[in-house]
Structure 1
Amino acid sequence: MAYAAGMGEQLVAVSAWSDYPPEAKKLEQVASWQGINLERILALKPDLILAWREGNPQRPLEQIANFSIPIVYLDAKTVDDIPASLRQLAIYSRHPEQAERAATNFQQGIGELQHAGKTHNATPLRVFLQFGTQPLFTSSKATLQSQIVSLCGAENIFSDSPVPWPQVSREQVLRREPQAIIVGGAPERIASVQAFWQPQLAVPVITVNEDWFSRSGPRLLLAAQQICSQLAELRPTLSSAK
């Protein structure tokens, strides 16, 4: 997100798993799922902290705030939040025009997919968003991933889950009769996913770039384009089979 907003040259450190673009891997890592290295962050004397509430424990962030270091929270929960976050970062970027361009391009791309999705038949395809196998997880309508599926003219079969990332059983999935399965990974993963569900469930498996699909940044548009194009190819066959 920061690089897309033109802030790459301003970054002094990152969190673990910050690997895009490649330049991000060269920066010092000061945070991970295990916590935040507060001492090191203070030593770097940043002018600004970019944080994600759900990805960091709140107490260390409160400690940082006590040192009068501003914190900008990037908590994209909807597709519309992504361009909004880019425009928020434009205020701090040395290249605000880059942030605005990224926000506009994202909105235009999503708008095109929404328009294309509305041209399909009124009955959405039922899809299962699969994350892992043992245990088996999926997502609800409260997630960006489910929203992407919706704009592609499909319906997440677990959209009604009261929790964002529910663990589900094989039997629950079979009862909801998905017409297709979406998983993160390369196309080579299709065979193993199909083998996992056979013989009870024999439906097409759609793969999407895992990095694009799992991160709440501008590359989510690329994931949406991948999913929408594959669903569009499958739709005539799946619709006639209902």
Structure 2
Amino acid sequence: MCMATRIRARLYSLIWPGKCKPRGVHRRLLLLTLGLLPVWAWAQAPAPEPAQRIVSLAPHITELVFAAGAGNRLIGTVQSSDFPKDVETLPRVGDGLHIDPETLISLQPDLVLGWQAGATQAVAPILKTLGIPLVHINPKSVQDIPDTIEEIGRLTDNNVSARAAAESIRERLTHLKQQAPTQPVSIVLEINPAPLYVVGNDPLLNNALQYCNATNQFADVPQAAPLIGLENLLANQPDFIVIRSESNRLMKERTEFLAAKGVQAARQGKVIGIDPDLLFRPGPRLIDALEQLCAQLQDQR
């Protein structure tokens, strides 16, 4: 029996145990049914032995695996994983929110690293049945990043290099705290300019700003990424605005637009551009973004 046939047989057995199974089952119906099964009982089950074949279901997890020195164990990832360059040739199992179970299982992983339970609920029961561990990685603070690197080192029996990478990050964070200016500033972290979405109640990013002695102007709103509108920005008038630095031209145009609308930070030249892949991915490069942000805040205070 070929691998694809064995996979289908295991999938069908989850829903129709016994010998009688309907033929021609629509794949979407199968996945919808599987998605209704609970995941919390096994989602955090640790790998029983060092993982050799890992699939990452989020870009930041891919980066964390490489930071732990286990990049050579990755056999698959998602479409948006683009760093480091080594991942370019890896097979893709979905877009992060929608994972293709057959593609995932055909890679024969012995460990799957996911982000949020909602994104893995369709594949969690399948992985459970096949005995493939699923571990969720979702840092809630900057300190969780080096801790997670060490955990990946444990899962892959790669403790020495993972510990070294984690300690390096902790030292950089300690240095940032020691160098943080005494004068606090308020910041708005722009996610999308039109319509205007900003970072709101995001525990990780709000924690990260503390290393620069900065606070998020919209940290207390209920949503993690609220739609605020220009009028709310004008009403709050932050000390600094952080925008996506996709190009110098776009950054200049955005600064001029905000200044023309009456945003004081833009009129004072206090607009900072940060690579969004660094800032918004909860992985090791967030520390790079923090160092850049803290340095620019210090220069322009």
The two structures have a TM-score, normalised by structure 1, of: 0.90
Match of 1:209 in 2: 275
Match of 2:239 in 1: 179
Contact conserved, 2:201 with 2:223, CA < 8 A, in 1?
no
Measured against aligned partners, the alpha-carbon deviations of 1:152-182 in whole angstroms (never above 9, x if no partner) come to: 0112110111121111111111111111110
Aligned to 2:67, the other structure's residue is in SS state coil
* Pairwise CA distance, 1:196: 2.4
Q: Is the 8 A contact 1:5 1:102 kept in 2?
A: yes
Q: Select which of 126, 129, 137 maps to 1:66.
A: 129
Q: Contact 2:114 / 2:137 at 8 angstroms: preserved in 1?
A: yes
Going from structure 1 to structure 2, the CA distance change for 1:165 and 1:42 (only over 3 Å counts) comes to: same
- Tell me how large the CA RMSD over aligned residues is: 1.7
**CA–CA separation in structure 1 for the residues paired with 2:90 and 2:220:** 40
Cα offsets for 1:106-163 (capped at 9, x unmatched): 111111111222x423xx1111111111111111243422322222011211011112
- Return closer, same or farther for 1:202/1:176 CA change in 2, 3 Å cut-off: closer
- Contact 1:141–1:147, Cα closer than 8 Å, also in 2: no
| Structure 1: gaps (5+ residues) | 236-242
Determine if the alignment matches structure 1 residue 219 to structure 2 residue 285: yes
Please give the secondary structure, in 2, of the residue aligned with 1:147.
helix
Q: Distance in 2 between matches of 1:126 and 1:54?
A: 33
List 4+ stretches of structure 1 deviating above 4 A: none
Number of residue pairs the alignment of both structures matches: 232
Closer, same or farther: CA 141–116 of 1 in aligned 2, 3 Å: farther
Letter in 1 for 2:241: I
Deviation at 1:186, TM superposition (A): 4.3
**Structure 1 residue 162 corresponds to structure 2 residue 225:** no
Contact 2:189/2:199 (<8 A) preserved: yes
Report the counterpart of residue 24 of structure 2 in structure 1: none
Partner Cα distance (2:271, 2:150) in 1? 36
- Secondary structure of the corresponding residue to residue 92 of structure 2: strand
2:158 counterpart (91, 95, 100)? 95
Structure showing greater radius of gyration is 2
Q: Secondary structure at the match of 2:243?
A: strand
Matched ranges for 1:7-156 at <5 A: 7-33=70-96, 35-53=98-116, 56-117=119-180, 119-121=181-183, 124-156=184-216
Report the Cα distance in structure 2 between the residues aligned to 1:87 and 1:51, rounded to whole angstroms: 17
CA distance in 2, matches of 1:7, 1:177: 44
- For structure 2, the residue ranges without an aligned partner over 5 or more in a row are 1-63
CA contact (8 A) 2:146 2:165 kept: yes
Worse overlay, 178-187 or 225-234: 178-187
With the length of structure 2 as denominator, give the TM-score of the two structures. Answer: 0.73
Letter in 1 for 2:283: G
Q: Does 1:193 align with 2:259?
A: no
Query: Percent identity among equivalent residues?
Result: 27
Please report how far the alpha carbon of residue 227 of structure 1 lies from its aligned counterpart in structure 2 after TM superposition. 0.1
CA distance in 1, matches of 2:151, 2:97: 28
Q: Does the C-alpha gap of structure 1 residues 120 and 141 become closer, same or farther in structure 2, counting only changes over 3 Å?
A: farther
Cα pair 2:141 2:208 within 8 Å, conserved = no
Letter in 2 for 1:162: P
The Cα of 1:62 is off from its aligned counterpart by 3.0
Aligned residue in 2 for 1:239: none
